[in-house]
Amino acid sequence: PRIGIIVVAAGSGTRLGAGAPKGFVGIDGHTILRHALERVFDAPAAQVVVVAPPGREGDALSEALEAAGDRRDLVTVVPGGATRQASVQAGLSALWADVEIVLVHDAARALTPPEVFARVIEAIESGRAAAIPVLPVVDTIKRVDGAEIVGGVDRSELSAAQTPQGFQREVLDAAYRDATADFTDDAALVADAGHPVAAVPGHPLAFKITTADDLDRARSVVADRPI
């Protein structure tokens, strides 16, 4: 089945405080978006849709063509929306008719290793409706109300969700078509539509670059192993 990968990069990056949309912030000589796309193009994709901040489509296209090498025909760039969900929707609308499996990936998880893509693709190719990479939660988690601890949570049943998240295209299309609420990831939307979601092992390097500390971490990782 043909695989389409939607890379959402239309976030403002306000929490990073770098003064540019997050995807265009440099890690080393290359941007967050470029690093993400280098790894995306290691996967067996038939189409890669980059969802760019509105007005920055040209810059996103340049980054994508650099990462694509001789696979430049695979690249589509579309402008994103006000929320992540709207940006994914924009990406879905740009998928070619013959794409049957969709992966949705946060550009902000720029250092996600190819093996994570491979695990998600394998689960979907084996017939699962949806599959996402997860990592066990290592911290002890508390419920907090203002300045009071109001309860604990059994962390053994908790995992942190990462991307890429994979889906049968028809399942994701239908979930987006029928969505009535806002969700922070695509698996929640698909689960809300009644589909089982499989878990595959995530990776520490699939962390999301959100704060300046995360960017420092990304910089030290790529200093050890550049593109």
Interface contacts to ligand C5P, rule CB under 6 A: 8-11, 22-23, 51, 80-84, 87, 106-108, 208, 210
- As measured in angstroms, the least distance from the Cβ of 53 to ligand C5P is 8
CB of 83 to ligand C5P, least distance (A): 5
* Residue among 47 and 112 whose Cβ is closer to ligand C5P: 112
The residue whose Cβ lies closest to ligand C5P is 11
In the complex, least distance from residue 118 CB atom to ligand C5P, rounded to whole angstroms:
21
Residue closer to ligand C5P (CB basis): 128 or 188: 188
Our CB check for ligand C5P shows the closer of 91 and 128 to be 91
CB of 154 to ligand C5P, least distance (A): 26
Least distance (Å) from ligand C5P to the CB of residue 208? 6
Question: What would the 3-class secondary structure string for the chain be?
Answer: CCEEEEEECCCCCHHHCCCCCHHHCECCCCEHHHHHHHHHCCCCCCEEEEEECCCCHHHHHHHHHHHHHHHHHHEEEEECCCCHHHHHHHHHHCCCCCCCEEEEEECCCCCCCHHHHHHHHHHHHCCCCEEEEEEECCCCCEEEECCEEEEECCHHHCEEECCCEEEEHHHHHHHHHHCCCCCCCHHHHHHHCCCCCEEEECCHHHCCCCCHHHHHHHHHHHHHCCC
Which CB, 8 or 206, lies closer to ligand C5P? 8
Residue 159 or 210 with smaller CB distance to ligand C5P: 210
